Amino acid sequence: MTFVSDRSVAEEVVQDTWLAVIRGLPSFERRSTLKTWIFRILVNRAKTRAMREARSIPFSSFEDPGGEEEPAVDPVRFLPNGMWADPPRPWHEDSPDKLLMRQETLRRLEREIEKLPPNQRAVLTLRDIEGFTSEEVCNILEISETNQRVLLHRARSKIRQALEQYLRGA
């Protein structure tokens, strides 16, 4: 869903990937983990598909985290000297399990992840949800370590902010 625009196309890409994995398994050389290898195939197929459809994001923009400033925290929350004006308040829920106990929180999180730009979503999903290392993510998405970190930083900051807003309102 990060690369292609509609769900049925995404499902097709996933299917193709599994078939390619089965076909390619004898030539898998164990230079990476199987999981990384599978994701590489998936990403490559999705990219090819996206290019063919030419209705998704251009991939130069995938490599490039984007020049424009995306502050981690809304600048109005700081004083001119860079100190907090509107500081974060401790969250009542003090563990991930407690946070996810409410279905609403879960839905909210998923929606926020969907709202991320594709490249940020891809990095966040692979790193924090799927648990790949940064090296593996760079390998899968074919991006530099620095770009990976910038994308991860922006994505994580946005998700934290969304959680904060949601938990404040609740």
Partner 1 sequence: MLTCKELTELITDYLEGRMSLGQRLRFQLHLGMCRRCRIYLRQMKMTIQTLGKLPDEPIPADVREELLMRFRSMRPASTAAFPAWQSIVAVVDGWLSGRGWIIPGGVLLAAALLAVALGGESGPLVQGSATCLLTELGAGAAPVAALILAATVFRGQVTASSLAAVAALGALAGYLSLLGSVCPYSRVTPHVLLVHVGGILAATLLGALAARLPWLRPR
- The amino acid that residue 161 corresponds to is Q
C-alpha pair distances (Å), 148 with each of 20, 31, 145:
27, 21, 5
Looking at the Cβ atoms of 23 and 31, the one nearer to partner 1 is 23
| Site size with partner 1, rule: CB under 8 A | 46
Q: Kindly write out the interface string for residues 36-75 of this chain, putting x where it contacts partner 1 by CB under 8 A and - elsewhere.
A: -----------------------------------xxx-x
28 lines the binding site for partner 1 (CB under 8 A): no
Q: Taking CB under 8 A as the criterion, which residues in 98-157 touch partner 1?
A: 99-100, 106, 109-110, 124, 128-129, 131, 134, 149, 152-153, 156-157
How far is the C-alpha of 55 from the C-alpha of 87, rounded, in Å? 41
In the complex, what is the shortest distance from the CB of residue 37 to partner 1, in angstroms, rounded to a whole number? 17
Where on the chain is the footprint of partner 1 (CB under 8 A)? 11, 14-15, 18-19, 22-23, 25-26, 71-73, 75, 78, 81-84, 87-91, 94-97, 99-100, 106, 109-110, 124, 128-129, 131, 134, 149, 152-153, 156-157, 159-160, 163-164
